[in-house]
Amino acid sequence: RDFYQADVKYLSKWKKWKRTSSKSLKKVLNEVKGWSSYLVLWRHDIHSIEGRFGTGIQSYFSFLRFLVLLNFINFILMFSFVTLPTIISTYGIFNSTVAKISPPNIEYNCTIYEPSGNKGLVYFFTYLKDLLSGTGFLEVTSLFYGYYTIDSVWISIMRYNLPLAYLLATFAYLALSLIWIIKRSVEGFKQNLVHDADQFQSYCNKVFAGWDFCITDPNAARLKHRSLQYELQTDLEEERLKQKIEHRTIKEKLRIYSLRISINIIVLAILLGCFYSIYRVTVFSQENSNDVSNTNFQANLLVQYLPSIVITLANLIGPLIFTFLIQFEDYLPAFEIILTLMRCVFLRLANIVVLLFSLWSQISNCTADKCKPCGYNYKLYPCWESDVGREMYKLMIFDLIIILAVTLFVDFPRKLLVTHCSCKLVQWYGLPEFGISNNVLEIIYGQTICWIGTFFSPLLPAIATVKYFIIFYIKKISLKHTCKPSAKPIRASSSNFFFLAVLLIGLVLAFIPVGVSIASIPSSKACGPFRNFNTSWEVVPVTILEFPRGLQKFLFGIASEAFAVPIFMVICLIMFYFIALAGAHKRVVEQLREQLVLESRDKMFLIRKITEAQ
């Protein structure tokens, strides 16, 4: 400091002012950063949950906050580039006009689409049914694909190509989700590697560097104390289980492995049974929903919603069975979450696959030349994109209803029984546990539905944002008042990374149906922005053909094999270089660790020599 102050005396006025300004700017930025932390969504609630229930449960609520922000950004993206231009042109704002081009060389039957909007006197229960199923008045709103029938928007002399914007916005929200998830996964992977590198280092970090000395509030200090306590409790529990595993006899190992094999066979049988039941019920529903007499409204409604009922039951009962069975397999707490999540992933995401497969089979059902004029079953699905969007909308709404119903009619009465009833059976049954794996699967399942459905229902991310906002407070109240934390504490570092990895699986699954719908299935000729194209993807080459000749050659050259093969080779070389670099860094780290061990031994040797000399 003295050297620094002496050096300042010989600086020019300009350099003195520059250095002072730099220090002031850094101070202002630090203060702004500190104040902005108070604007973080649910900051206080999540800190309170962390201190009371540990970082494992806190990671679930942080994950839920991440999905709220992700869906809000996706909603802003779709609304700004798809919905807003349509609304502006429809109402003539900014002197905008609309251009609608009739589909060329298409039979008239293919262009007939009459949404079942409510007309005349409508009962209240009809509005409620429409709200739950996406039909009636909702069918003709901007919520679904069929509303966007505009080909281009003219604002003054500027032309806005809505079909191209619709397709690019779809690619943009999928790419944004992928990049954001990968970015967060990399951060969690780094923390996971640091934590798993050396267990003793983890203890040292918590004991000697775990406290935040900026804490001055007594309540904040208690929260931090409880958080560290749960972290140490998790470490000790894992160490105890590892020691127990190491000291197992051959007889115990044989018993455990036999039990695990038997349980895995049971789990496989449950999964296959659920998949087959959903498939058979879906086929039955689609074959018989139109055969029921219109006068028997209740029976017709039950047949139509039979797949949703079976899917909901599978999603509710399956995870409960898996959570019960995992207790007998004697795994580490972190691995229990991973294995339970993987089993539930196959169960929940397969339900969506079965539903989409059944819809596509009906859309492309070309028996008796049903598809000959239009390329798809236009009589049953005149605007099939809106029909798929309604199915995704119904799944999302029903998912929220089930979460609310379980909390209100299962967990809350169970809490009252345990609190006010002294029956031994009730007390043995106890309070419901806040299962992290089941709750994470619920929101990943809903998010996968949102990613798939956004192409068919552009405003679905807004519904997902509101849905997760409601779920946060439902789960918070349920955790604090009706549930108890898991008996086995969970570490946040490993669970955070795996939550994002499973979410990435859901995103990759969403790419497949959206890609097939864009590239393979003929677009509806009666509705939507792509009714003048054979497929949704066709808008891209048609738009490129409108560019100057030189730009066309450049873009088609980038898409050719002659460009793709060298790029692939360059990417492979870069990948091999980074693999070799990572291996070299790993060897250097190992050498540095060996040097640290040798230095510690040298210090101990010198200390012993000094002690002996004294």
User: pLDDT (tens digit, 9 = 90+) per residue, 149-186?
Assistant: 877 777 767 778 888 889 999 999 999 999 998 888 87
194 pLDDT band, cuts 50/70/90, is low
The span from the CA of 438 to the CA of 478, in Å, is: 14
- Residue 561 confidence (pLDDT): 72
Residue 464 CB partners (closer than 8 Å, separation 6+): 67, 71, 396, 446, 447, 450
- Return the pLDDT at 421: 79
Q: What is the pLDDT of residue 70?
A: 93
More confident residue, 225 or 587: 587
Tell me what pLDDT residue 25 has. Answer: 84
Lowest-confidence segment of 25-34, 216-225, 390-399 by average pLDDT: 216-225
- CB of 502 closer than 8 Å to CB of 440: yes
Comparing 211-225, 276-290, 491-505, the range with the smallest average pLDDT is 211-225
At 276-300, the pLDDT tens digits run: 887 777 767 766 655 544 445 566 5
pLDDT of residue 142: 84
Q: How far apart are CA 54 and CA 485, in angstroms?
A: 9
**3-class DSSP state of 484:** strand
Name the CA dihedral angle for 595, 597, 600, 602, rounded to a multiple of 10 degrees: -70
Query: How does the average pLDDT of the chain come out, rounded?
Result: 78
Determine the pLDDT at residue 175. Answer: 92
The token duo for 581 is 């670099």
pLDDT of residue 233: 79
Burial environment of residue 163 by CB neighbours within 10 A (0 to 12, 13 to 18, 19 or more) = buried
pTM (2 decimals)? 0.79
Burial 457-472 (b: 16+ CB within 10 A, else e): bbbbbbbbbebbbebb
Q: pLDDT for 413-438, tens place per residue?
A: 888 888 877 787 777 777 777 777 77
First to last CA, the chain: 40
- Tens digit of pLDDT for each residue in 373-387? 677 777 777 788 888
Both tokens of 299, joined, read 């029976």
Q: How far is CA 410 from CA 315, 407, 438, 603, in A?
A: 16, 6, 15, 63
Return the minimum-mean-pLDDT range out of 42-46, 119-123, 527-531. 119-123
Q: DSSP assignment of 334-361, as one string?
A: HHHHHHHHHHHHHHHHHHHHHHHHHHHH
Collapsed DSSP state (helix, strand, coil) of residue 291: coil
Cα gap 596→598, rounded to integer Å: 5
